[in-house]
Amino acid sequence: MAASLRVLTMNVLGPANPDWARRSALIGETLRRLDADVVALQEVPVADGTVEELLGPGWSVTPFSRAAEDGVGGVLATRAPHRVVEEVDQRCTPRARDFPWCATLLAEVDTAVGRVLVAHHKPSWQFGYEYEREQQALAAARAVERRAGGVDHAVVLGDLDATPDAASTQFLRGRRSLDGTSVCFQDAWETLHPADPGFTFDARNPLVRAGEVATAVSRRIDWVLVRSGVHGPTLQVRSCARVLDEPVAGVWASDHHGVVADLDLPGHPPGSWAPQPTG
């Protein structure tokens, strides 16, 4: 089997929200069972041991440098030690400052598929802030491109609060340019499920219906993206699935579903032909 990397992102809807004791137990059990190499968590307490309780021992953990007043924010965790290379402050406009832990955290980690640059990206969440999400996607992409020359692969993970038709995610996937810049990151979900909307914030979920945005339509807003070189993504998406997208013993884990993907080294590098049979 080819060398592989498992990555996972999930917004866990932290302890200020209903039923945290049962939800956190289910989330922790699931995260430990899935045993990813790289995990990006959002809406999680970052400094009270919650992350370590959810993941178990043996992780290298870096929270965003800023959190909300209640200690909730974003965290990047890796099985192997990682090295933080940059954190982009994404509070890019006066109104974006309403969300204190709006940021992109970039770290390098050595994995079975080589050295990987991981960007945990958390833009503005507010419905009418797509302008900010565009600028935040642009800043994140530029940061990744600055650092990509020193690694073998790059991935972007996170709750992007943007649907596939949004300008910010179209830009990240190479379907439009912004400010004279264009990049291309392949969407792991779309690669394997092109006809499936793959909602990660689903109106079927009672935590959505009871929450602060109960009138919103179902949306896919949680993402795994793989950076492309000239000839396409440098890692092959072998699997991509939602995490905790149904209740377990009557418990819904969060108002978001997570996303987990297995990324393999391709059989031959992009830009080359596979060996041809002879004879």
pLDDT, tens digit (0-9, with 9 covering 90-100), for 100-113: 999 999 999 999 99
Q: Quick check: 77 pLDDT over 70?
A: yes
Q: DSSP character for 48? A: S
- In whole angstroms, how large is the CA radius of gyration of the chain? 18
Band (pLDDT 50/70/90 cuts) for residue 269 is: confident
Q: Which residues neighbour 180 within 8 Å (Cβ) at sequence distance 6 or greater?
A: none
Which parts of 123-273 are beta strand (E)? 153-159, 185-187, 222-229, 232-233, 236-243, 258-264
Q: Quick check: 72 pLDDT over 80?
A: yes
- Once rounded to an integer, what is the mean pLDDT over residues 53-79? 97
Report how far residue 166's alpha carbon sits from residue 101's, in angstroms, rounded to the nearest whole number: 22
Whether 200 and 12 have beta carbons less than 8 Å apart is answered as no
- List, in sequence order, every residue forming a beta bridge with 77; answer none if it has no partner: 39, 61
Q: Quick check: 277 pLDDT over 80?
A: no
Q: Quick check: 11 pLDDT over 70?
A: yes
Considering the entire predicted model, what is its pTM? 0.97
pLDDT at residue number 268: 87
Tokens at residue 132, please?
């900010």
- Once rounded to an integer, what is the mean pLDDT over residues 134-156? 97
pLDDT at residue number 243: 98
DSSP symbols for 218-230 = PB--EEEEEEEET
Which parts of the chain are beta strand (E)? 4-11, 38-45, 60-63, 72-78, 82-89, 103-111, 114-122, 153-159, 185-187, 222-229, 232-233, 236-243, 258-264
- Once rounded to an integer, what is the mean pLDDT over residues 145-158? 97
Band (pLDDT 50/70/90 cuts) for residue 233 is: very high
Which numeric CATH code is attached to 4-264?
3.60.10.10
Q: What is the mean pLDDT of the chain?
A: 96
Name which of 58-72, 121-135, 144-158, 265-279 the model is least confident about: 265-279
Q: Quick check: 276 pLDDT over 90?
A: no
pLDDT at residue number 279: 63
pLDDT at residue number 1: 65
- Spell out the domain ranges in the chain: 4-264
